[in-house]
Structure 1
Amino acid sequence: MRMSTAIPPGIAIPDVVPTRLGELKFFDGFPDKATVEKIYDNLDFQRAVQAYLLALAPVNMAGLREGLLQVGPANVTIPTFEDNMNSRSIFLTANATTPYTWVWIDLHSGPVVAEVPPRTLGMIDDFWFKYVTDIGIVGPDQGQGGKYLLLPPGYDGEVPAGYFVVRVPTFESILVWRNMPIEGDIKPAIENLKKLTRIYPLAQAKNPPANEFVNVSNRAFSTVAPADYRFW
């Protein structure tokens, strides 16, 4: 006896499926060679887009690291725009109304202390460009300045008192703040910066090494990652 079963609508694959990739062709539910190639090409494209989106933040952070380390080594160099930024310095989101200080932090060798001056407005972002903590006016020091103890991932050693303790999820990060003018004058803020800012390893807290303050105003350098094939 011949058997037949009515197939509910929407289950069986039609012979031709129009899509944004073009026509996909099937025979008894099996794709032909051209359809298989189109589908795999589309999967490759989708995964490349996802890889780009997922990598956009850390690749741009890598660009920031590359640019800042051209100025000087991490944890030692304190690059500062002692005047307002201009178009010679290429940064992602900087504006031209406030002098910035940017410090590249490297915790591979252990905890680092950052002594921040008063009247700043800033933050720490990890290498994924994710927010870690505020610094300054909206941070735990409330604009009074203070000592921040930056701990690397997995740190389980002694944590001394007297610090604003920050556990950074990645071994490298960016510490950035705006130096706020005093009665419209930026010079006192820069003087406080140089007098009160220190970056040093916790292990050398009793005898901190000297920092190098570098005025990067009007300096031609880039901290932005490439948007061409070099991105990959």
Structure 2
Amino acid sequence: MAMRSDAPQSLQSRIGTLQFTHDFANGYPTDETVALLFDTRDFQRACQAYLWALPAASFVAWQQGVSGMGAGNGQIASFLTYEARKGILTANATTPYYLGFADLTDGPLVMEMPEGVRGGIIDAWQRSLPGTEKAARYLLVAPGAEPPQNTEGLQVRVSPTMNIMIGVRITATDPAQADAALAAIKVYPYAQRKAPTAAAIFDTGTTSWSGTPPRGLRYWELVHTVLQREPAQERDTFFWAMLRPLGFEKGKPFAPDERQTRLLTEAALVGEAMAKANTADRRFADVKYRPGAHWDFALQLDADNPDAFWNLLDERASWFYEAVSAGPDMAPKRPGPSSAYLGAYRDSTGAWLDGGRSYRLRVPPDPPVDLFWSVTVYDVDTRALILNDQQIADRSSRMPLKKNDDGSVDIFCGPQAPAGFEQNWIPTVPGRNWFAYFRLYEPRQAYFDRAWPLPDFEPLA
């Protein structure tokens, strides 16, 4: 006997059984199905919003971590020890970091960037302010504000966001040159330009802290912070609209109800799982350094068209889940003053890199760099320097490494040091996965031609 067209009918779907008053075409969803559909809609939106918000949420987590240690507004802080650097996502283990966060609400700031440093200024979405990597005196102005009339000797930069980060790295190997460059870095209010009194550099010492975006509802609290204090960008309009049913509204406190809390908490978990897969198993065009190997170009930014990167949701999320700041000199296309980043998550067999196993990475002779190369190991959980008792996370050409007869260098990663190669060893931790960055500072043409064959990590017996 044929089913009556006015009888309730069910439809099986990925999200469960959907029930309708009649058939799907002629009926309305039942009250239970309506609730399921709205929960699913808001959950799916939150998962995608997690990926979208990563650069801004990471910025706030980083800023709050630094200010929580005692650094003032615009004050440059030094991160010189292993403990201090391991709070930064995928930091270099040996290069000194100097950075500060500033809120432009109270007026413009002047930054003096001297010769002999590498760095720049980024906004709250971690976009570089154009041209700020060069030595100059910069006037930093809040979005929508008119620059002062007297800007002689200053390069004006109007920030798209109220909050910015100033970061520099000292690459000089001569201590006297490094100290001179460091002493010349200054940040002070524009009103003090005639007699600037820049605050002394804040020494973070061995303070343990974290700039990793938090999990759970705390992640969304950071996203809400961005909504409240920063102007909305046109490209982000629909994402903010997607989050409105979950308690995000400009000018109102973040107070999610029981349903919103449940959906956001689960979406933070699934969103991070998506972010982890999107980073460790990148599925973008031309992402591999060389065919048949597992080294990825970590930053999928076109140095000739850097603005396009910010419209690439997945490529952007793959970088900012594990790293901070992005600019053309971090994804170079030709030789020059830059640094290139390759990431590895699997070994030569295709298995995930595991802290309980031992591996060898054979760095071929004649690496195509003008400055130096380094291999750094990071913890999958924190995306920061690996947490081992030895506080050793990298090996580089600046170190006295043991070389093979052909000039190649074997780097060993594992829980135990290989006999005779202790200086080439990076300790890993059983029970924890890890990944690695291979950095090339001022890469040569062979890197861009992909002619230099960097092999995979090989598992050892």
Same-fold call, TM cutoff 0.5:
yes
What are the residue-to-residue correspondences of 1:23-42 with 2, within 5 Å? 23-26=17-20, 27=22, 28-42=26-40
- Whether 1:66 and 2:64 are equivalent positions in the alignment is yes
Aligned partner of 1:222 among 197, 210, 214: 210
The 1:207–1:88 alpha-carbon spacing in structure 2 relative to 1, beyond 3 Å, is closer
What is the aligned partner in structure 1 of residue 334 from structure 2? none
Aligned partner of 2:169 among 178, 200, 223: 178
What is the aligned partner in structure 1 of residue 100 from structure 2? 103
The Cα of 1:134 is off from its aligned counterpart by 4.7
What is the aligned partner in structure 2 of residue 5 from structure 1? none
Structure 2 segments unaligned to the other structure (5+ residues): 1-7, 221-461
What is the aligned partner in structure 2 of residue 152 from structure 1? 142
The 1:123–1:114 alpha-carbon spacing in structure 2 relative to 1, beyond 3 Å, is same
Counterpart code for 1:23? T
Separation of aligned partners in 2, 1:169 and 1:51 = 21
Cα pair 1:60 1:225 within 8 Å, conserved:
yes
The 1:212–1:15 alpha-carbon spacing in structure 2 relative to 1, beyond 3 Å, is same
Cα pair 1:17 1:25 within 8 Å, conserved:
yes
- Whether 1:204 and 2:228 are equivalent positions in the alignment is no
Cα pair 2:85 2:91 within 8 Å, conserved:
no
The 1:133–1:224 alpha-carbon spacing in structure 2 relative to 1, beyond 3 Å, is farther
After superposition, the C-alpha distances for 1:65-118 in whole angstroms (9 at most, x for unaligned) are 11121232112x2211345x4576311232213111101122112111111121
Aligned partner of 2:110 among 105, 110, 113: 113
Aligned length in residues: 207
Cα pair 1:152 1:168 within 8 Å, conserved:
yes
Separation of aligned partners in 2, 1:63 and 1:92 = 11
The 1:81–1:95 alpha-carbon spacing in structure 2 relative to 1, beyond 3 Å, is same
Cα pair 1:89 1:218 within 8 Å, conserved:
no
Cα pair 2:84 2:204 within 8 Å, conserved:
no
Cα pair 1:90 1:222 within 8 Å, conserved:
yes
Instruction: Tell which deviates more after alignment, 193-202 or 51-60.
Output: 51-60
Q: What is the DSSP-based 3-state SS (H/G/I as helix, E as strand, rest coil) of the residue aligned with 1:153? A: coil
Separation of aligned partners in 2, 1:86 and 1:160 = 40
Q: What is the DSSP-based 3-state SS (H/G/I as helix, E as strand, rest coil) of the residue aligned with 1:72? A: coil
Separation of aligned partners in 2, 1:113 and 1:61 = 21
Q: TM-score, length-normalised on structure 1?
A: 0.78
Q: TM-score, length-normalised on structure 2?
A: 0.42
Structure 1 segments unaligned to the other structure (5+ residues): 1-13
Q: What is the DSSP-based 3-state SS (H/G/I as helix, E as strand, rest coil) of the residue aligned with 1:133? A: coil
Cα pair 2:84 2:205 within 8 Å, conserved:
no
Q: What is the DSSP-based 3-state SS (H/G/I as helix, E as strand, rest coil) of the residue aligned with 1:43? A: helix
Output the aligned Cα RMSD.
2.4
Counterpart code for 1:208? P
The Cα of 1:146 is off from its aligned counterpart by 2.2
Q: What is the DSSP-based 3-state SS (H/G/I as helix, E as strand, rest coil) of the residue aligned with 1:71? A: coil
Counterpart code for 2:141? L
After superposition, the C-alpha distances for 1:162-182 in whole angstroms (9 at most, x for unaligned) are 122211111211011211123
Separation of aligned partners in 1, 2:191 and 2:50 = 39
Name which one, 1 or 2, has greater alpha-carbon Rg.
1
Separation of aligned partners in 2, 1:217 and 1:134 = 31
Separation of aligned partners in 1, 2:164 and 2:203 = 21
Query: Which one has the bigger helix percentage?
Result: 2
Cα pair 2:171 2:178 within 8 Å, conserved:
no
Structure with the bigger RCO (C-alpha within 8 Å, sep 6+) is: 1
The 1:159–1:92 alpha-carbon spacing in structure 2 relative to 1, beyond 3 Å, is farther
Counterpart code for 1:95? N
Separation of aligned partners in 2, 1:106 and 1:87 = 23
The 1:22–1:210 alpha-carbon spacing in structure 2 relative to 1, beyond 3 Å, is closer
What is the aligned partner in structure 1 of residue 232 from structure 2? none
After superposition, the C-alpha distances for 1:2-44 in whole angstroms (9 at most, x for unaligned) are xxxxxxxxxxxx9443211122232132223332222122112
Q: What is the DSSP-based 3-state SS (H/G/I as helix, E as strand, rest coil) of the residue aligned with 2:196? A: coil
Separation of aligned partners in 2, 1:159 and 1:64 = 33
- Whether 1:57 and 2:63 are equivalent positions in the alignment is no
Query: Which one has the bigger strand percentage?
Result: 1
Separation of aligned partners in 1, 2:37 and 2:110 = 53
What is the aligned partner in structure 2 of residue 167 from structure 1? 158
Counterpart code for 2:36? K
Cα pair 2:79 2:85 within 8 Å, conserved:
no
- Greater than 3 Å deviation, 4+ residue runs: 85-89
What's the % identity of the aligned pairs? 32
